[in-house]
Structures are given as C-alpha cells and as structure tokens.
C-alpha cells in the first residue's frame, strides 16, 4: 500500500527500508561472492518475511474497514475497487520487469517459452518444478494470490451469514492461516523442495499474521498496546535470535523440513511485535528511509536482474578480495538505488497517479451504477 505524504508513518518507512535492504544485501552477496555469507542468507530470509507481515498489516486494515466496519454500499463494488487499486499498484511495474527479463535473460532458456505464461498469472511457483527465471517473483505469487483469494472468502462468508462480525472475520482468518501451515508441513515431507519453489498458498500464513495484527489494532487495542512496549520488543529480538540459531543449524529442530514449518511462524510473531513497536512511535521523518520505502518495490524487482549481469563471482582466495568486494558492493547498491528511483519517478508513480485519476474513477462510477 502506497501512503501519501499526510498518511506516511515514519516508523513503518523504517521497517520497509530494513526489509528491502536485507533482501538486496543478501542478493548482492550471494551473486557476487564465491562463498556467500550464511548470516546474510538468513538476513535475506528475514527481509522477505518482514515484507509479508507488513503487507498483511497494511492491506488487512483496508479489508477490515471496507468489509467489516463500513456497512454501506455494495460489497461487489468495494471488492472491485480494492482489486483495481491493488493491481494498479503492483502489476504495471511487475509486467515491465517481466518484459525486460524476457528479452534479456530468457534467450539463455532459464524457462521454456511455453511456460512464460505462468508468470503472467503468478502461477510459476505452483505449476513449475523450478523458478529459475525471475526468482524474485516467488514472493509476489504469495501476495497476489492471497489478496485475490482472501477478499473473495470474506465475501463468500458474508453471503451465507446474516451478520458477519469481527469474530467471524477472525475465525476465517485463523482458518486460512492455520490451514496454510498444516498444508506446508504435509507438502514439505511429501515433496522436499527449496524454500522459494513451494506453491504460493503454502506461505499465506506470513501475510495472515500481518492481517491478524491489523485486526488487533482495530478491534483489540488493549492487546495491540501490550505488543508495543519495550518488553515485547525485547521478546521479539530474542525470538529472532532463536530463528538465526535454528536456520544456522537445521538439526536443532530435527530436520530442515521441521525448520521450514516452524521458523516462519516464530518469525512472523516476532515481526508483528516489531511492526507494532515501530508503528506506534512518533519517529521523525528521515529522508533516506522515506526514499527507500517509496522505491522498495522497484528495488525488489530489479536487483536480481542487474546483479545477474555480473559474469563472474569474486573468489574468496583473492588477495584483494575484501577491497574488490566492498567496491563492487557499493557500486551495485548505488546503481540499484538510482535505477529504482528512475523507475519510481517516471513509471511507478505515474501509474499510481493514474490509479487515483480519471481512468479508475470512470470505471468505478460505471460499476457503482450497475451495483
């Protein structure tokens, strides 16, 4: 969700900035260095998980206000409005990067031409054995399918219930969240695969935890307030340390499958504490975090394509390895920032303005007359 200047929360800008920098720094290290840093790999995992929970927290507030609190208007119209605004936010840049990747990288046959269509509908993690092309798109599959399915389940539940209260919303959310965890556990033991290759619906729990936090903010303010204190924050830090230990040595939880089932749950719980802590405090706006937050989506989509252009990995055995590593690392980060800013200013932001402009309003006006 893009916030305008009046709505921006400086604390959440910091959270989003931490998330994208964690992902980008991990990708730079893993693509450039001959032996990637194990700690940075865990750091990258944290970045994506933080994105999931933060996304659920922000979009969850929109869904709750639209379908639970607001009793006026047509639910069909509100659902259409939600989809239009959501897709105008995420799809234009995604499809632009998809086209760029198709012409630059797919000549290397990272994916069969007859499989490219799966990327248009975010089905690559569900239908393909391996996501070698646009690997960063795996997390977008999770988000797009969650925000397609969950609002539809809300409307379906409302259609069969005379009164759809916040308690029924919570039951529906917990069913989706717990169901995703159970199915992930079954899947990983039946078909062991890499973390980024599991079907999107098996990672719905991370976004679901974010929606749960939105629920607490709106309906259970007393519980939410307890999450924002310094003792809860300390507990969150301890949980993250536990996750680092478990993902450093999979044997701590018995197997890597058990680790992939349990650690996302603990990570999400830790991050709902962190997000509530940062959201509740009045941070002064820092331009670096505001900018990084705004261009984070572009940074996420373009960092791997750019880094993939590096023809060779830097060998750790080189005498000047650290000097060369720091130099290329800095150049890469600067280039990613500059490219992302250009994409944001001249493509992504105009598309978001179009979302709020005449085209979207005209469609919604027509739909409101039909509803």
CB of 1 closer than 8 Å to CB of 58: yes
What mean pLDDT do residues 261-284 have? 94
Residues 6 or more apart whose CB falls under 8 angstroms from that of 18 comprise 47, 50
For 157-193, the pLDDT digits (tens) are: 999 987 889 999 999 999 999 999 999 999 888 877 6
Neighbours of 68 (CB within 10 A): 18
Higher pLDDT, 340 or 134: 340
Residue 73, pLDDT score: 84
- Specify the range with the lowest mean pLDDT, choosing from 76-80, 218-222, 277-281, 341-345: 76-80
Residue 146 has pLDDT above 90, yes or no: yes
For 323-337, the pLDDT digits (tens) are: 888 998 999 999 999
SS3 labels along 139-198: HHHHHHHHHHHHHHHHHHHHHHCCCCCHHHHHHHHHHHHHHHHHHHHHHHHHCCCCHHHC
DSSP one-letter code for 250: G
CB of 54 closer than 8 Å to CB of 12: yes
CB of 297 closer than 8 Å to CB of 323: no
For 27-67, the pLDDT digits (tens) are: 988 877 766 788 888 999 999 999 999 999 999 999 999 99
């Amino acid at each position: 969700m893009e916030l305008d200047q009046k709505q921006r929360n400086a604390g959440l800008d910091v959270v989003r900035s931490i998330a994208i920098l964690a992902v980008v720094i991990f990708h730079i290290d893993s693509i450039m260095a001959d032996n990637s840093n194990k700690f940075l790999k865990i750091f990258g995992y944290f970045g994506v998980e933080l994105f999931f929970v933060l996304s659920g927290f922000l979009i969850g507030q929109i869904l709750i206000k639209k379908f639970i609190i607001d009793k006026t208007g047509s639910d069909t119209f509100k659902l259409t409005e939600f989809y239009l605004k959501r897709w105008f936010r995420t799809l234009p840049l995604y499809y632009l990067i998809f086209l760029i990747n198709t012409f630059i990288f797919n000549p290397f046959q990272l994916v069969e031409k007859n499989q490219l269509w799966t990327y248009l509908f975010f089905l690559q993690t569900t239908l393909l054995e391996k996501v070698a092309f646009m690997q960063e798109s795996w997390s977008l599959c999770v988000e797009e399918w969650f925000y397609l399915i969950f609002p539809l389940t809300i409307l379906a539940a409302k259609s069969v219930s005379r009164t759809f209260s916040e308690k029924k919303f919570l039951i529906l959310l917990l069913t989706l969240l717990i169901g995703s965890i159970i199915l992930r556990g079954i899947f990983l033991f039946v078909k062991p695969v890499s973390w980024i290759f599991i079907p999107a619906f098996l990672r719905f729990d991370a976004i679901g935890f974010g929606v749960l936090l939105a629920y607490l903010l709106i309906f259970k303010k007393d519980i939410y307030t307890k999450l924002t204190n310094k003792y809860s924050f300390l507990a969150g830090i301890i949980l993250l340390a536990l996750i680092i230990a478990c993902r450093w040595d999979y044997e701590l939880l018995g197997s890597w499958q058990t680790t992939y089932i349990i650690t996302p749950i603990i990570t999400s719980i830790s991050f709902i504490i962190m997000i509530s802590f940062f959201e509740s405090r009045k941070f002064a706006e820092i331009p670096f975090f505001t900018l990084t937050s705004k261009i984070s989506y572009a940074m996420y989509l373009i960092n791997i394509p750019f880094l993939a252009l590096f023809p060779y990995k830097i060998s750790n055995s080189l005498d000047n390895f650290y000097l060369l590593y720091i130099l290329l690392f800095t150049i890469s980060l600067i280039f990613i920032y500059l490219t992302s800013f250009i994409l944001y200013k001249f493509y992504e932001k105009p598309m978001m303005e179009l979302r709020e402009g005449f085209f979207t309003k005209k469609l919604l006006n027509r739909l409101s007359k039909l509803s």
